Chain A
Amino acid sequence: MRLVTLSPHDSVLLHESIFQLPAGQHNDFQHYLVRDAGIGADPGAVDRHFAHLGALLAAAQQDPASLPAAADELALLHYAFNDMLDRFNPRQLAFGCLVVEVNGEPWADRSEEGLRRLLTWLSGAGLTEERVADIVATVKKNCQRS
């Protein structure tokens, strides 16, 4: 397990390897990572969907078979834009799935609402987006490579 210190008074304890992380929590972690990779919720994700939509529409000019994929991509662009406006951050929620304890107290509420509440509190306590991205990437790597 890994103890992440956020301030002199605040810390979170996390699972970080396949030998500790329960399968149910890992499945929730993957759920938000799939959502992050497939939709995303930041300006970079919106740009990627615009670029992909443009490429699919250009391909559809040669072969109309690409049009259904372009329609799906348009839906993803719409979701990414909405999630960005709604400040819904799937990568942060993936991080929340790894949390075991907050300031020594067990954290058991892993509903989407519970995770959003947890992340709002952790952000206030000093958790940064960079740190979330770094820890999520490390755990993802641990799970793939081990």
Chain B
Amino acid sequence: MRVHFPARYGGAERETQHYYQQQQARTVALADYILTGAPKYLDAVAELDAWLLDQATPEIFDDGAPENVLTLNRRRFGHLCATLADQGFPRPHELTVFDFNAAIDYLAEKNKTA
């Protein structure tokens, strides 16, 4: 998806890369601490651990909660289908994933130039 639709899916890749870099920095700091015993490296590990913990906020799956991640995803997909149906794409959920995303891209571009 990120090859064909970079504007919409490229951001997730950048976030993943940043997360990976932080994990890498933590490993290096831990290795430095093991090799040198200097407490400053342990502080760096603690700081990175706090950051990583902050990124891993648990998602909400409670039935009936408005912020339930599954409900939000379904609603978002329903809205996209309704938008496509309004614009003359009948039964948009039956389009292939590629055609569905291409149609969304087309409408987004069309709205930008309108």
Contact (Cβ within 8 A) B70 A35: yes
Q: Name the contact of A22 in the complex, choosing from B58, B74, B93 (C-beta under 8 A).
A: B93
Give every chain B residue within 8 A of A76 (Cβ-Cβ): 58-59, 61
Interface with B: A51-59, A117-125, A126-134, which one?
A: A51-59
Q: A7 interface residue, CB < 8 Å from B?
A: no
Query: Provided the pairs A20-B96, A22-B96 are in contact, do residues A144 and B2 lie with their beta carbons within 8 angstroms?
Result: yes
CA distance A52 to B54 in the complex (A): 11
User: A23 CA to B56 CA in the complex, in Å?
Assistant: 28
Q: Which residues of A contact B77 (CB under 8 A)?
A: 23, 27
**Chain B residues with CB below 8 A from A39, complex form:** 61
Query: A-side interface residues toward B, CB under 8 Å?
Result: 18-24, 26-27, 30-31, 34-35, 38-39, 52, 55-56, 59, 66, 69, 72-73, 75-76, 79, 143-146
- Please determine whether A69 and B58 come into contact, CB atoms closer than 8 angstroms: yes
- Of the listed residues A24, A52, A59, the one surrounded by the most CB atoms of chain B closer than 10 A to its CB is A24
A26 to B92, CA, bound (A): 12
Q: A19-B96, A24-B94, A31-B74 are in contact. Are A72 and B58 (CB under 8 A)?
A: yes
- B positions within 8 Å CB-CB of A: 1-4, 9, 49-50, 53, 56-62, 69-70, 73-74, 77, 81, 92-101
Q: Check A22 against B73 for contact (C-beta < 8 Å).
A: no
Partner of B73, one of A31, A66, A144: A31
Q: What are 12 residue pairs bridging A and B, where the CB atoms are less than 8 Å apart in the complex?
A: A19-B97, A23-B94, A23-B100, A24-B94, A27-B74, A27-B93, A35-B70, A52-B58, A73-B58, A75-B58, A76-B61, A145-B3
Residues of A within 8 A of B50 (CB): 59
- The answer to whether B58 and A145 have CB atoms under 8 Å apart is no
- In contact, B57 and A69 (Cβ under 8 angstroms): yes
Residues of A near B81 (CB, < 8 A) are 23
> CB distance A21 to B58 under 8 Å?
no
A18 lies within 8 A of B97 (CB): yes
B27 vs chain A, min Cβ distance (A): 17
Contact A38 B97 (CB under 8 A): no
Q: Residues of B contacting A23 with CB < 8 Å?
A: 77, 81, 92-97, 99-100
Q: Tell me the minimal C-beta distance from B55 to chain A in angstroms.
A: 11
